[in-house]
Amino acid sequence: MLTDEQLELQALARDFAKAELRPHTAEWDAARALDPEVFTKLAESGFLGMLIPEEHGGLGFDLSTYLIVLEELSWGDAAVALSVAIHNGPVTDLVLKRGTEEQKTQWLPQMAAGDCLGAFALSEPDAGSDASSVATTATRDGDGWRLDGEKRWITNGGRAGLVLVFARTSEDGLSVFLVSPDAEGYHVGAQEKMLGLRASQTVRVSLDGVGVGADALLGELDSGLRYALEALDVGRIGVAAQAVGVGRAAMEHAATYALEREQFGTPIARFGALQAKLADSAQRLAGGRALAHEAAKAWTALTTSGSRRGVRGVTARAAMAKLAASEAASFAADEAIQIYGGYGYMKHYPVERLLRDAKGAEIYEGTNEIMRQIIAAEILRDAGGQNQ
């Protein structure tokens, strides 16, 4: 059950999505670009500082409340929600958990105010699901570091004011660096031409001898892989909320269309086969949402305890939430197209875009094949422990 405060925030986010996002989604998708003004409006509403504590200018939401808002934003526009999620999720989480007081004071107020959007530069041409294969290097340069390498699929990579760059600092270790895109040698490449989430600024980034000071190191040296996996947990829980929002939008469009469209002298909503599609979509989306909030509770309990015990369970729960919600979204969007029939296959109607957007949630922040491996590994570990 949602609290009164959460219900108010849900309504606020839905009103924002309805007024500021939905009227522009088709235009943004066609142009492959978001209007920069939307980030100003997001900041004014506090949506760029949802997980940042009030002492640093944010709203200080717990993760479950954040998911409620993120679902509504994704219901409005998935590309916007993706940018918001990267900024609020893994970037904010790492700066909060691993940053020094000076780093948090420098960056968090700017991020909460929308003066500085965050980006997460982990993936590379040969390092997607396998984060340990990162080839970008950070070499000592006096008291600081020099970064060289290429990053791929970096959301907010050209718009951001702060980029968390993962680079190899030893043969077996990665580290995380706080990098400004204004730094010499930071080059933004072409925007990726994607099937869905087309308005998202997802770009290639080249690092050509980018120099950073000693104070740019985030957390402990050679601990970057562990930090990345921690951040991916909160990122995947956020992906689940995004997916539910997309799937819900598709289902609602289909339900409205079914009430209006008549065939054989009656609204098609009266047909049992069509009702089954809506019922199955609703059931799957509700399951994805429930798993996301269960994972959020586990993540919050782990974070507030300050202990690493139970981290495996959180990782598996995050993976289950992303897996279930993303596949539910794709199912709901696909069924919505079937309900629309020939019209659903046309760009003039919204459901074909929603199917394209939903597919992305099955891939980014770790493919669903990887999610299944993570879940199975947890089951096998538990079974092995019980048999010892």
Contacts of 44 (CB under 8 A, 6+ apart): 114
Number of Cβ atoms within 10 Å of the Cβ of 159: 17
CA distance 141 to 62: 40
CA distance 104 to 94: 10
In contact, 243 and 326? CB cutoff 8 Å: yes
In contact, 151 and 121? CB cutoff 8 Å: yes
CA distance 78 to 309: 34
In contact, 84 and 73? CB cutoff 8 Å: yes
Active site residues: 365
Instruction: Give the rounded distance of the alpha carbon of 332 from its chain centre.
Output: 19
Burial 3-31 (b: 16+ CB within 10 A, else e): eeebeebbeebbebbeebbeebbeebbee
In contact, 102 and 178? CB cutoff 8 Å: no
Q: Token match 């046309």: residue?
A: 346
Integer CA distances (angstroms), 298 to 13, 50, 69, 87, 383, in order: 24, 19, 19, 21, 21
